[in-house]
Amino acid sequence: MAVSISRKLLRSFHGSLCALGRYDSPSITCQSFRTSHDLYGHLYGDSVFSSGSCGHFKGGSSILAKRWLSTSILTPESSDGAFPSDLLSKKPMVTTERAIGLYQDLVIPVTNFHNEDKGLMVLAGDVFDVPIRKDIIHRVVRWQLAKRQQGTHSTKTISEVSGTGRKPWRQKGTGRARHGTLRGPQFRGGATMHGPKPRSHAFKLNKKVRRLGLRIALTARAAEGKLLVFDDLEVPTHKTKNLVNYVKQMENTKKVLLVDGGPINEKLKLATQNLHYVNVLPSIGLNVYSLLLHDTLVMSRDAVNKIVERMHTPINR
């Protein structure tokens, strides 16, 4: 027979268990019931526990038996006929989405261009799981675009315009406005007043903010499920069709950014140079603007390690 335990009853039951001084079995601790309580928090509606899985008390003393609380969930489709189907919960389980920005380490599968299983990799939480801040991203992107602006625009002043220095007509008696030169800004082909001159548009942005912007961009790609980790970026041949077929297999992918730890492999460079939607960068060149231009990020193991090491390096002041 199955018993449906409410949240309030389970909380009070959990508190009474933690208040006990000793148990018959050392394997049953308050931690195990905390785990059961946490499991209960992920269920939609009431939890269903087996009556055989709950510990019973002996001889009137508050001592639990050696059996643990069951963490299995029974459904009406369960093959065990000992439980009546009308007593089992028919409500679906709800898996809450992972909260972003808790600085928790992430475990991600590792693969390659052939979709082979290469194990798992742990991503540092202080690099791939930081709070999302759009204002930081905006500041870093503006800094990048301003710094790469050439600033070669130039206009000529009155001393730089070609032309005669003679007075066009006499000062008085013509009925026309008085002028001293035809190179002025009011004449066609004349000078430009207060026009642009070659200069640098770059402005200062603290290294802390720049690093934080890169962490936020990496966190956003990881949270969207658009971060892939490869064992390496080795390709068997320089043919472009292999990468084209691989990108076609990706879902909801328009532009891909491949990031390797060291110098880019020559075969990979040749295979991607004719694809406008696939770009390759070394880990030292990874930046926020490039991450925003591509909706999918593919990094090698070496690249992930280099990026984490770069984020953990102390800032020289």
- Residue written as token pair 């070659």: 198
Q: Indicate whether 131 and 168 sit together in one domain.
A: no
Q: Indicate whether 264 and 298 sit together in one domain.
A: yes
- Structural domain contains residue 101: no
Q: Indicate whether 185 and 132 sit together in one domain.
A: no
Among residues 295, 301, 251, 292, the alpha carbon closest in space to that of 277 is found at 295
- Structural domain contains residue 98: no
Residue 297 has pLDDT above 90, yes or no: yes
Structural domains of the chain, count: 3
- Structural domain contains residue 96: no
What pLDDT does residue 150 have? 94
Q: Indicate whether 129 and 238 sit together in one domain.
A: yes
183-221: pLDDT as tens digits: 999 999 999 999 999 999 999 999 999 999 999 999 999
What pLDDT does residue 29 have? 39
What pLDDT does residue 266 have? 94
Check which CATH number belongs to the domain holding 128 and give it.
3.40.1370.10
Question: Among 18-32, 211-225, 267-281, where is mean pLDDT lowest?
Answer: 18-32
Q: What is the mean pLDDT of residues 131-144?
A: 97
Residue 30 has pLDDT above 80, yes or no: no
Last residue of a domain, one of 135, 167, 195: 195
Range of the domain at 28: 2-87
- Structural domain contains residue 93: no
Q: Indicate whether 44 and 111 sit together in one domain.
A: no
pTM equals 0.66
- Structural domain contains residue 95: no
Residue 281 has pLDDT above 80, yes or no: yes
pLDDT tier at 90 (50, 70, 90 boundaries)? low
- Structural domain contains residue 210: yes
- The pair of structure tokens assigned to 275 is 């694809």
Q: Are 213 and 288 in contact (CB under 8 A)?
A: yes
Q: Indicate whether 117 and 243 sit together in one domain.
A: yes
pLDDT tier at 86 (50, 70, 90 boundaries)? low
Residue 64 has pLDDT above 50, yes or no: no
- Structural domain contains residue 94: no
What pLDDT does residue 306 have? 95
Q: Indicate whether 184 and 211 sit together in one domain.
A: no
What 3 state SS string does the chain have? CEEEECHHHHHHHHHHHHCCCCCCCCCCCHHHHHHHHHHHHCCCCCEEEECCCCCCCCCCCCCCCCCCCCCCCCCCCCCCCCCCHHHCCCCCCCCCCCCCCCCCCEEEEEECCCCCCCCEEEECHHHHCCCCCHHHHHHHHHHHHHHHCCCCCCCCCCCCCCCCCCCCCCCCCCCCCCCCCCCCCCCCCCCCCCCCCCCCCCCCCCHHHHHHHHHHHHHHHHHCCCEEEECCCCCCCCCHHHHHHHHHHCCCCCCEEEEECCCCCHHHHHHHCCCCCEEEEEHHHCCHHHHHHCCEEEEEHHHHHHHHHHHHCCCCC
- Structural domain contains residue 97: no
Which of 8-17, 50-59, 289-298 is the most confident on average? 289-298
35 versus 274: the higher-pLDDT residue is 274
What pLDDT does residue 114 have? 87
Residue 312 has pLDDT above 60, yes or no: yes
Percent of the chain surpassing pLDDT 90: 63
Average pLDDT in the chain: 79
Last residue of a domain, one of 40, 56, 87: 87
Q: Indicate whether 123 and 246 sit together in one domain.
A: yes
Q: Indicate whether 31 and 169 sit together in one domain.
A: no
SS3 298: strand
Q: Are 192 and 157 in contact (CB under 8 A)?
A: yes
Q: Indicate whether 34 and 160 sit together in one domain.
A: no
Q: Indicate whether 189 and 269 sit together in one domain.
A: no
Q: Indicate whether 221 and 114 sit together in one domain.
A: yes
262 versus 73: the higher-pLDDT residue is 262
Last residue of a domain, one of 40, 60, 87: 87
168-187: pLDDT as tens digits: 999 999 999 999 999 999 99
